[in-house]
Amino acid sequence: MNLELLLAEAEESSSGIDLLLPATSELVAGIAAFAIVFFFIWKWALPALNETLESRASAIEGQIKEAEETKAEAEKSKAEYDKLVSNADSEVQTIIDEGKAAAEKIKEDMLAEAKKEAEAIVEKAKSDSEAEKERVSSELKGEVADLSLEISQKVASSMSKDDQKKLIDKFIKDMG
């Protein structure tokens, strides 16, 4: 009940608009305080805030430019790396080709040298064989001559003088 009485008294003493608006002296003091605070904020705080925001924006722009420069450098380095890799691949292929050519030349040189050595060995064997053949032939002729001489001496000693003369004449006739 007490609550109802308080509400009733409040309704009788003030109208609805008075509740919303403050007293005129308070309104003037609030507007003056707001104007003073607004002036100080506008004069000192707002420029400092703008300066901070501008320095922050320029710092961000600088970082973006650095990032773009770093990206461009990285792309340039990557292009150089790719070029070096492709050059290295071609150099490796060139070295391999040169190695194969050198190996083929060495192989051909070794085959030619081996062929020359084989021919030299065959020629030496032929000349040795010819020399041995000549030596054996010469020995054989000597032995045949010795044997012929011995046989002819034995035959001549067993023949009469007339038979020997006929044999000599026949030999001279056959030679001539």
The beta-carbon contacts of 152-157 under 8 Å, at least 24 apart in sequence, are: none
pTM as predicted? 0.36
pLDDT digits (tens, 9 = 90+) for 100-109: 999 899 999 9
Distance in angstroms (rounded) separating the CA atoms of residues 28 and 87: 84
CA angle 35, 36, 42 (to 5 degrees): 85
pLDDT value for 1: 61
Q: pLDDT by residue (tens digit) across 9-23?
A: 655 555 556 667 777
Q: Answer for the pair 51, 45: CB distance below 8 angstroms, yes or no.
A: no
- Residue 58 pLDDT > 90: yes
Q: What pLDDT was estimated at residue 122?
A: 87
| 97 vs 128: CA distance, rounded Å | 46
pLDDT value at position 32?
96
